[in-house]
Amino acid sequence: MKNSQLYKGSLTTIVMKLLEENGRMYGYEITQKVKEITKGELKITEGALYPALHKLEAEGVLEVEIENVDNRLRKYYKLTEKGTSETVNRLAELEEFIKNMQSIVNPKLSF
């Protein structure tokens, strides 16, 4: 997931947000979407993504639908009900995080 250490810990939040936005997506699609949105700046590695998806599925945050497209396997993931409410919390946490980081980096603007 790129060189910068900063992205550590944000992968699952990114995945959940994208699924909230797009209904359902498969792994490879997620990597391409993130690359596109961030104009190539953020590249999610498959070695990080697939285990993360499996973990979220095991936790009941995501559910999977396997399909065969062009003789190639695709695993579509979407948020469960639990996952949807969990995503609300994650996004609130992300907003707090960004706010806190901006308070530290730009103390003059925090009031």
Binding site for DNA (CB under 7 A): 1-2, 5, 7-12, 26-29, 32, 44-48, 50-55, 69-75
Number of residues that bind its own copies (CB under 8 A): 33
Beta bridge partners of 63: 78
Residues 42-71 that bind its own copies (CB under 8 A): 42
The torsion region of residue 2 among left (phi > 0), alpha (psi -120 to 50) and beta comes to left
Is residue 64 within 8 A of residue 77, CB to CB? The reply is yes
Is residue 23 within 8 A of residue 71, CB to CB? The reply is no
Binding stretches for its own copies (CB under 8 A): 4-10, 12-14, 17-18, 21, 34, 37-38, 41-42, 91, 93-98, 100-105, 107, 110
